[in-house]
Structure 1
Amino acid sequence: MVKPPHIVFLCLIYPLVGVVLAAWTSGGNALPLLFPLVPGFALIGPFAAIGLYEISRRREAGLDTSWRHAFDVRNSPALPAIAAVGNMLFAIFITWLLTAQLFYQYLFGPAPPESTSGFINEIFATGRGWTLIILGHAIGFVFAVVVLCTMVVAFHLLLDRDVGAYEASHTRCVRCWRTRSPWLSGD
């Protein structure tokens, strides 16, 4: 609540991206990718929010936290590592989209939906549509867990300390494994 404009930005970015993705996929060929794109955006969300992490780091250090400091990330000595971790998230995002597309084609075939209403009816009124919903969410959950385990502290650590991309992305994962609990590992 200390920086309400930043919260407004965060609360507006996801709906705006959702509208852009919906408009982009409104054509028949990309319609099956609408749902995978929207939650898939959350997979690259940690990279997209790096400016907010910088503002948070500055606030904790007692420095000025105006919005223009979100761009100070470009002066970070860890910029190559930040880019490497961002590329890893982008690769996971692309892998998620390809997996979702392959799973959709496995169930429905390679032909694009004839219409939006026909597509929606096919998804919610057929057994293979419900299979897509249930197993698609399970597959997406696996991707989300991978990103959570590897990225929950990676960008914060990169902004705060001079560590490499590998160390930053594996810090939380190794601690979780050693304690067998993601909630007890403490960072």
Structure 2
Amino acid sequence: MAMAHPSQAASAGKDISVRTITFDDLRIALRQGWDDFLAKRGDLLFIGFIYPIIVALAIMSASQMSILPLIFPLVAGAILLGPAFASGFYELARRREAGLDARWRHFLDVIRKPGGSALFDLTCVLALLFMAWMAAAWFIYHATLENVPGSTSSPGAFLSALFGTSQGWRMIVVGNLVGFGFALLTLAVSVVSFPMAVDKPVNWGVAVRTSCRVAWHNPVTVAAWGLIVVALLVLGALPALVGLAVVLPVLGYATWHLYTRAVVR
């Protein structure tokens, strides 16, 4: 593990050091995340809240075709909120690391911790990014595919217009570029901020600044982490989304361990 070259930043009356991390740190964090998953499996909890979301999306798409253009941005944008939903996994990983009781009843302890207000503030930041992304996605649709007659009359008509017209391809290209920008911003803001708020009583500004400094100090490694997260989410979604029941908890635990390697505690 690379632990050298700490860089300092003063914020809110204290210096927080960040470390240089390497691809080996990513590998170790993922391995430790897998170990935590085997010890405290998150699949049942995940299944408990993901399938109602899937059902709700299916009902909305079947009953109101006008939201079809927003289904993919909605699902993709939900990833932006992932760090907030994973806060309970950070707490379980922290407790297991410290040799404390890490049973499931501690999953929601993050709400009652001194850093709970920071977690709420950080969640609001991600929620604002999510809403901004949805607004951007709607604007892109309005400027492109909405001009194709009948494009939302049925799922088949929507897909045909999306992949069979120049407006559809323009929507795909512009939407993905804008989405990539939102993803980079979210990655920089949240790569270590949520685990830090779980770990210690810091305010949201300190957590965000430190997270951005980790990304600035380790651009290639953090970008690689983002690609790993996306790749694992895609792989987990392929078998009817069931694989996400494993992928999401593992990523939650692994993010905690990446934080412990990227920030001097």
* More RCO (CA 8 Å, sep 6+): 2
Taking only the aligned residue pairs, the percentage that are identical comes to 32
Find the aligned partners of 1:157 and 1:87 in 2 and give their Cα distance.
16
Name whichever of 14-23 and 41-50 sits farther off: 14-23
Q: Deviations over 1:5-60 (max 9, x none)?
A: 31454477556534432332331121111000111100001111111111111111
Distance 1:31 1:6, change over 3 A: same
Moved over 6 A (4+): none
Match in the other structure for 1:181 = 219
Contact 1:28 / 1:116 at 8 angstroms: preserved in 2?
A: yes
Name whichever of 85-94 and 106-115 sits farther off: 106-115
Contact 1:6 / 1:67 at 8 angstroms: preserved in 2?
A: no
Find the aligned partners of 2:102 and 2:91 in 1 and give their Cα distance.
9
Match of 1:97 among 102, 115, 134: 134
Q: Cα RMSD over matched residues? A: 2.3
Match in the other structure for 1:47 = 84
Find the aligned partners of 2:160 and 2:197 in 1 and give their Cα distance.
46
Contact 1:21 / 1:38 at 8 angstroms: preserved in 2?
A: no
Could you tell me the TM-score, scaled by structure 2's length? 0.64
Find the aligned partners of 2:61 and 2:114 in 1 and give their Cα distance.
38
CA displacement at 1:138 relative to structure 2: 1.3
CA displacement at 1:126 relative to structure 2: 1.2
Alignment of 1:29-178 (within 5 A): 29-109=66-146, 113-177=152-216
Name whichever of 110-119 and 38-47 sits farther off: 110-119
Find the aligned partners of 1:15 and 1:141 in 2 and give their Cα distance.
26
Letter in 1 for 2:61: T
Letter in 2 for 1:50: S
Contact 1:25 / 1:33 at 8 angstroms: preserved in 2?
A: no
CA displacement at 1:183 relative to structure 2: 2.2
Find the aligned partners of 2:93 and 2:114 in 1 and give their Cα distance.
18
Could you tell me the TM-score, scaled by structure 1's length? 0.88
Find the aligned partners of 1:168 and 1:70 in 2 and give their Cα distance.
21
Distance 1:64 1:180, change over 3 A: closer
Match of 1:163, SS? coil
